[in-house]
Each structure stands twice: as C-alpha cells, then as structure tokens.
Amino acid sequence: MHCLILLLNLGNYGWRWVDFLVDSMGCTALHIASEHRSTDVALLLINRRADLNLTDNWGKTPLHFAVRLGSEYTIRELIYAGASLNIGDYKGRKPIHCAIEENRQTTAIKLLRKGADPNVVDENGQKLVYHLISRLIKTGADLDMADKHVGIIVGRIITTTIT
C-alpha cells in the first residue's frame, strides 16, 4: 500500500493510472483497499476520484467488498462519494444481497435508506425478500409466527431449499 500512496502523491500523472492498475482478478486499488479494510487508503483513492463503480472479473464493485466485510466507514464514504448501490455481480447480486448474506442488518437498512432497490432480483429471479426470509429461516426464525402472506413466501423457500 505504501507504493500506492507514493503513486497517488505523484500529482497529475501518477494518480490518473490508479483505475487502470488491476490485479489478475480484475481488482483495482479501491477494490483491494475495500477488501482489506484499509479505510485510510480507500478514502485517499476516493478523494483522488478513483472510479467507484469499476467491477472486478466477477462483477463486484468496491462497495460489494466493503459490505461483505462490514467496513462501515468505507461503506459510508463510498456511498457519500456516489457509488452505485444497484450494480450486480455476475449472479445479479447487489451490495444489499451481500449485507443480507452476511447478516449485516444495519448495513442493509443503510443501503435501503440511501436508495438501494428493494425489488432487485438475482440471476434466479429471486427477489430480495426471498433472500431475507431464507436468512431468517437459517438463523432459526419460528415459522409458526408467520402470517398468511409471509407463509406463501416461506413455503416457496422451503420447497426450493429441500429440492
């Protein structure tokens, strides 16, 4: 990371290349900083106008990485700087899906309040509510407490999970 900071401090020439330097996985410096919870480096890159929405080889943005790892400060800075909340990876999973999969309720609520689409679907055509209820079931939610509308969704999830 020290080399990256030196590159960024070169002025008008060095920092312009930061979006073009990618590793074998297609990750930019901002992806890597987000993945390693290097919030100081991520903020430096954001301030130097690194592209917030570039995707790696699997379609993940730096926000996907920050959400998956629960780096709240990096998430906040990416959102504030204008990162898209609705870019999907190769399976159609948006950062909101990552928040639900990783059981990060506060992050999921923050993403929704900041404009994440609550009606997104993944590659299988499954809506966000499907993933949310699946997560609840996996963590031991009492299905007997569900009302008739939730029961329809839960029944579909159970059928899909069993088959």
Read off the pTM. Answer: 0.77
Is 52 within 8 Å of 84 (Cβ atoms)?
yes
At 144, is the pLDDT very low, low, confident or very high (cuts 50, 70, 90)?
Answer: low
CA separation for the pair 18, 16 (Å, rounded): 6
pLDDT at 162 over 50: no
Sequence spans of domains, the chain: 2-119, 126-163
What is the second-level CATH architecture of the domain 2-119?
Alpha Horseshoe (1.25)
DSSP category for residue 121 = B
CA separation for the pair 130, 142 (Å, rounded): 16
Q: pLDDT for 4-61, tens place per residue?
A: 555 555 555 555 566 667 788 888 889 999 999 999 989 988 988 899 999 999 999 9
Structure confidence at residue 125 (pLDDT): 86
Structure confidence at residue 128 (pLDDT): 83
pLDDT at 136 over 50: yes
Q: pLDDT for 35-48, tens place per residue?
A: 999 999 899 889 88
